[in-house]
Amino acid sequence: MGFKTTIAKASTISKSYRTTVPASIINQFNLREGDILDWSLTASNNNLIIVISPEKKQRKKLQDF
């Protein structure tokens, strides 16, 4: 059906939660720490439809000397 992840508290003092992005998705989209995931949510027929668009963080390019 898809990927399953578990929701966990972000910290003991926060009301936020976090989950893990599966490694296969990280690899498929070449995501790295610091990249941003833009989440769009829609409710339809008692289902939550989530579209996640990765936005790459600007990475410094090595210049030839």
13-58 pLDDT, tens digit per residue, is: 888 998 888 898 899 989 988 898 999 999 999 999 999 898 877 6
2 located within any domain: no
46 located within any domain: yes
pLDDT band at 62; cut points 50, 70, 90: low
12 located within any domain: yes
Q: pTM value? A: 0.61
64 located within any domain: no
pLDDT band at 60; cut points 50, 70, 90: low
SS3 at position 45: coil
Structural domains counted in the chain: 1
From residue 44, alpha-carbon distances to 35, 50, 51 in Å are: 29, 11, 13
H/E stretch holding 27: helix 23-28
Domain span at 23: 8-55
The burial of 35, by beta-carbon neighbours within 10 Å (0-12 exposed, 13-18 middle, 19 or more buried), is given as middle
